[in-house]
């Protein structure tokens, strides 16, 4: 808004001296815009900002009108980032479960005397429901990460700090399993599952 206002003001000054009627109209338009800006409208900036009250995110219905509401927004952003890390962990755990299940199927088939090459190929394939569940987990993770990216694009310092805090908490809670490629040094047979 301020950009269009300054552009119209500069164009008026370039075209010569405005008439008194145009000058009065421009002054009244500027004062009404100031009143609108101060009366609870959304404050949105594509530059770094520290807006709290009257900041809006994603839509005009997400209009923060109090300090408590803004604190709730920051806590919610932290929880969304933690949830994204939780879904990533669930995705890894589900893949490990599928590998264990399919490996056990392959071993039991080779003990029964079936062709181990064919059994190994079959064990590496997912069933349609297994693949759909993996796809659903990925969709939740992707949607959450996209939502966080959209929030970061408001360049609000408090929201970006909340994203960083959520990333730290999420990594501390759910990324311990990725150390060493997800396997303990004792070998794959003794690797612990979820939280080891």
Can you give the pLDDT at residue 39? 52
Lowest mean pLDDT among 13-27, 61-75, 102-116: 13-27
pLDDT digits (tens, 9 = 90+) for 37-61: 445 788 888 899 999 999 999 988 9
CA distance 152 to 48: 10
Burial of 87 (0-12, 13-18, 19+ CB in 10 A): buried
User: For 39-193, where are the alpha helices, taking DSSP H only?
Assistant: 67-111, 116-123, 128-152, 157-174
* H or E segment to which residue 62 belongs: strand 59-63
CA distance 37 to 34: 5
147 Cβ partners below 8 Å, 6+ apart? 80
Report, as an integer, the average pLDDT of 79-108. Answer: 91
Assess contact for 88 and 176: CB atoms under 8 A. no
Cut 0.75: pTM above it = no
CB atoms within 10 A of CB 73: 20
Average pLDDT, the chain: 77
Q: Which residues pair with 57 in a beta bridge?
A: 59
How far is it between the farthest Cα atoms of the chain? 99
């Amino acid at each position: 808004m301020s950009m269009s206002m300054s552009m119209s003001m500069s164009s008026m000054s370039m075209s010569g001296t405005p008439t008194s009627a145009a000058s009065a109209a421009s002054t009244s338009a500027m004062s009404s815009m100031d009143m609108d800006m101060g009366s609870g409208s959304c404050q949105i900036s594509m530059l770094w900002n520290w807006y709290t009250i009257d900041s809006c995110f994603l839509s005009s219905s997400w209009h923060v009108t109090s300090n408590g509401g803004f604190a709730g927004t920051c806590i919610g952003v932290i929880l969304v980032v933690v949830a994204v890390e939780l879904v990533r962990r669930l995705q890894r755990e589900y893949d490990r479960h599928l590998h264990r299940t399919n490996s056990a199927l392959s071993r039991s088939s080779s003990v029964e005397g079936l062709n181990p090459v064919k059994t190994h190929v079959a064990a590496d394939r997912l069933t349609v429901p297994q693949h759909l569940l993996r796809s659903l987990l990925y969709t939740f993770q992707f949607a959450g990460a996209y939502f966080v990216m959209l929030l970061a694009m408001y360049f609000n310092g408090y929201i970006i700090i909340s994203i960083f805090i959520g990333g730290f908490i999420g990594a501390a809670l759910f990324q311990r399993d990725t150390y060493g490629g997800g396997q303990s040094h004792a070998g794959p047979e003794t690797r612990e599952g979820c939280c080891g």
